[in-house]
Structure 1
Amino acid sequence: MTYDVKESFTSVPEQPSAATSPATAAAATPAPPAPAALAAKVRTLAPSMTRSMQRVAEAVAADPAGCAALTVTGLAELTGTSEATVVRTARLLGYPGYRDLRLALAGLAAQQQSGRAPAVTADIAVDDPVADVVAKLAYDEQQTLADTAAGLDTVQLGAAVAALATARRIDIYGIGASGLVAQDLGQKLLRIGLVAHAHSDPHLAVTNAVQLRSGDVAIAITHSGSTGDVIEPLRVAFDHGATTVAITGRPDGPVAQYADHVLTTSTARESELRPAAMSSRTSQLLVVDCLFTCVTQRTYETAAPALAASYEALAHRHTPRNR
C-alpha cells in the first residue's frame, strides 16, 4: 500500500495575502529552529533530502563556524551545488532563507566554543574499551534528549495533551521497538484512570480503530514515519473522526497525512553497533513522558487518586497474605 505525503517540505511557503495583517502573518509563521536544534534537524530530515541538499546539510552540521562565514555562493561552491540548492536546504531545515541559517550557524558555533553545545564525538568502534562505550552511549543519549527537547513543538504537544485529557478512549499503535514505547504510554495512562490500550498487532489495531469516534484519540508511534502497519489504523481512526497524533522522527513522512498533531523525535547518529531502533527509543520515551506528565497535570484531581490507588494495589500484591 502506498501512502502520499500530506505536503512537501521543499515547497516555498505561501506569501500572506494583502488582507492578512503583519501580526497575523507573523503568528501563523513557525519560528525558525533554535541553533541547538540545527544538528537534530539535519539528522531527522537528511534521509528525505536529495543528494545535493544532503551535502549542504552535512557541511553546515560538520562545520557551523566555517559555513557561517560563507556567502550563499561560497557554500554552494564548497559543496559542489547551486545557490538555489543552498536556499532550498535552508528552508527545508526551517529557516526563511540562507541569511537566517547563517545566523543560526553562528549561534551554534558560539555555543560549541563556550562548551554549551559539545562537538560530535566518534562512533562506537568494535575494539572500543567498555569505558569508552559507556561514555559514547551516555553522550549520544544526552544529545538525543537535548535535540528532541529543542525540536519539540510545544503548541502541538499542548494540543495533543488537551485531547488526551478529555478523551473517552485512547488507542496507541506501535510495531517492534516502537511497540514497546506504545505499551509504556498505555500503561502510564491507565494508571491515571484513562481508558488506554496499546496495540502491536496490526489486525487488532485496525479492528479497534474502526470503533473510534469524535472524542477519542489515536496515537501512532513510528520512527520512520512510513510503517504501514501503524499508518493504516491511524488512517482508519482519522477517517472515523478521532483526534490523531503521530510521534515520529520523520515529520515529512506518510504518517503525517493522517495526523492532526505531529510530535517530532530526534535520533542519535546510527552506526553498525547502534541501530535506529535503539537510538530512536530514547527520544520516543521522552515525548511519552512529556505527554503523560502534562496530562497528569491537567487531570490532577482524578489522576492523583488513581495513581495512589494503583500504588496501593501493587503494594498489597507484594504483601504476604495470612492463610
Structure 2
Amino acid sequence: MSTQQKKTFTDVAGATPAPLATPAPTAPAALQARIRSLAPSMTRSMQSVAEALAADPAGCATLTVTALAEHTGTSEATVVRTARILGYPGYKELRLALAALAARQDADSTPAVTADITVDDPLADVVAKLAAEERATLADTAAGLDLAALDAAVTALAGARRTDIYGVGASALVAQDLAQKLLRIGLVAHAHSDPHLAMTNAVQLRPGDVAVAVTHSGTTGDVIDPLRAAFERGATTLAVTSRPDSPVTRHADLVLATSAARESTLRPAAMSSRTSQLLVVDCLFVGVAQRTHETAAPALTASYQALIPRHSAR
C-alpha cells in the first residue's frame, strides 16, 4: 500500500488519526498467539528465537539479550529484531512481557493439554485435546484483538450501503456466516466464494460500501484480488487473517488478526483457524447489532417469524 493509499481510522470511522501500518504493542496475554502467527514469515534465525520464547517464556524472561542469542544460536541483533516484529520497542520490553506471561501461566490452574492428536488416540483423548486447543485459540484471539480496528470495522459495517465478503475453502463458511448474520438484521450483505463472482461484485463497490476478506494465510489470490478491486474503488476494506503482515493486508484499511491452533497432520491450520474467525465474526455482528438496534431488532424479529413455519412439521 503506498503512502497515498493508506487510510487512517479517521477516514473509516471518525476516530483519532493513526496510520494503520503502525504495529500495536503486544499484550503479554497475546504474545504466544502473535509468535505463532508471525513465525512463518520470519527468517530462520528469527524463528529460532520465536520458538524459544513460545516454548519457555519463564526461562527466556531470565536471560539477557546476549544469553538468549547464545541459547538460540543467533545474534543479539536478531533477538532485537524479533522483539520489534512482535510489537515491542526492544528486548527489555519483550522480557517484561515474557515475565508477565509466565506469571499468568503459573496462576492458571487448568492442566495443559498440549500433545498432538495421533492416529491411535482414543476418542476421549481426541475430545480433550481438541477442547483444550479450541479454548486456547479463542483466548489467544480475544487477547490479541485490536479493539480500535474492531470498533472502526463495526462502524463501517453498520453504516454500509452494502457489504461483500470474500472467502474460499473453510473461510468461505465463515464468510457465509457473517453475511447471513448481517442479513438477519436487515443489512445488505453477500458472501462470495466463486472468484469470478467476487471480482464482478467488487468492481461495483464504491465509497460507503464495505468489503471483507477472510483468509487464514493472507495469501489467497482469489480473496486478495477482489479486496484490492474494492479498495481501489474507495470501499472500506477489512481483512480477517492470522497473518497481519501478509499480502492481503496491503489492500485492507482495517485488519483483525486471528489465532489458529497448532498445526498437525490430522488438523491443518487452515481448518483450525475457523474457530477464531467465527469469534471475530460474532464480535462484529454483536457490535453492529448494538449500533443499529432500532432497525436490527425489528428485522431480526421479522426473520424469526418468517422462518418459524420452516421448522414446523408439515
Asked if these proteins are the same fold (TM beyond 0.5), I'd say yes
Q: How many residues align?
A: 299
Residue 67 of structure 1, aligned match among 57, 60, 68: 60
CA distance in 1, matches of 2:220, 2:105: 36
Which residue number corresponds to residue 246 of structure 1? 239
Residue 217 of structure 2, aligned match among 205, 218, 224: 224
Once the two structures are TM-superposed, the CA of residue 225 in structure 1 deviates from its matched residue by 0.5
Once the two structures are TM-superposed, the CA of residue 316 in structure 1 deviates from its matched residue by 2.5
Which residue number corresponds to residue 211 of structure 1? 204
Once the two structures are TM-superposed, the CA of residue 257 in structure 1 deviates from its matched residue by 0.7
Which residue number corresponds to residue 260 of structure 1? 253
Which residue number corresponds to residue 21 of structure 1? none
Once the two structures are TM-superposed, the CA of residue 32 in structure 1 deviates from its matched residue by 2.3
Once the two structures are TM-superposed, the CA of residue 29 in structure 1 deviates from its matched residue by 6.9
Maintained 8 Å contact 2:217/2:270: no
CA deviations 1:33-52 (Å, max 9, x no partner) are 12111110111000000000
CA distance in 1, matches of 2:132, 2:45: 30
Any stretches of 5+ residues in structure 2 without a counterpart? 4-16
Maintained 8 Å contact 2:240/2:255: yes
Which residue number corresponds to residue 107 of structure 2? 114
Maintained 8 Å contact 2:162/2:187: yes
CA distance in 1, matches of 2:110, 2:67: 25
Residue 41 of structure 2, aligned match among 33, 41, 48: 48
Alignment-mate amino acid for residue 187 of structure 1: Q
Residue 183 of structure 1, aligned match among 176, 180, 186: 176
Maintained 8 Å contact 1:246/1:263: yes
Any stretches of 5+ residues in structure 1 without a counterpart? 8-23
Specify whether residues 58 and 35 from structure 1 end up closer, same or farther in structure 2 by C-alpha distance, changes over 3 A only.
same
Maintained 8 Å contact 2:113/2:132: no
Maintained 8 Å contact 1:111/1:117: no
Runs of 4+ in 1 over 2 A off after TM superposition: 28-32, 116-120, 316-321
Correspondence 1:166-177 to 2 at 5 A: 166-177=159-170
Alignment-mate amino acid for residue 32 of structure 1: P
SS in 1 for 2:151: helix
SS in 1 for 2:54: helix
CA distance in 2, matches of 1:143, 1:86: 26
Once the two structures are TM-superposed, the CA of residue 292 in structure 1 deviates from its matched residue by 0.4
CA deviations 1:1-32 (Å, max 9, x no partner) are xxxx779xxxxxxxxxxxxxxxx99xx97652
TM-score by length of 1: 0.89
- The answer to whether structure 1 residue 318 and structure 2 residue 311 are counterparts is yes
CA distance in 1, matches of 2:212, 2:91: 35
CA deviations 1:188-226 (Å, max 9, x no partner) are 000000000000000000000111010000000011001
- The answer to whether structure 1 residue 58 and structure 2 residue 13 are counterparts is no
SS in 1 for 2:155: helix
Maintained 8 Å contact 1:37/1:150: yes
SS in 1 for 2:153: helix
Correspondence 1:135-154 to 2 at 5 A: 135-154=128-147
What do you get for the CA RMSD once the two structures are aligned?
1.9
Residue 83 of structure 2, aligned match among 90, 105, 122: 90
Correspondence 1:16-55 to 2 at 5 A: 32-55=25-48
SS in 2 for 1:32: coil
Which residue number corresponds to residue 198 of structure 1? 191
SS in 2 for 1:226: coil
CA distance in 1, matches of 2:313, 2:59: 66
Q: Give the share of equivalent positions with the same residue, in percent.
A: 77
Maintained 8 Å contact 1:218/1:234: yes
Residue 270 of structure 2, aligned match among 277, 294, 300: 277
CA deviations 1:63-106 (Å, max 9, x no partner) are 11111000000000000000000000001111111001111111
Specify whether residues 225 and 117 from structure 1 end up closer, same or farther in structure 2 by C-alpha distance, changes over 3 A only.
farther
Once the two structures are TM-superposed, the CA of residue 302 in structure 1 deviates from its matched residue by 0.3
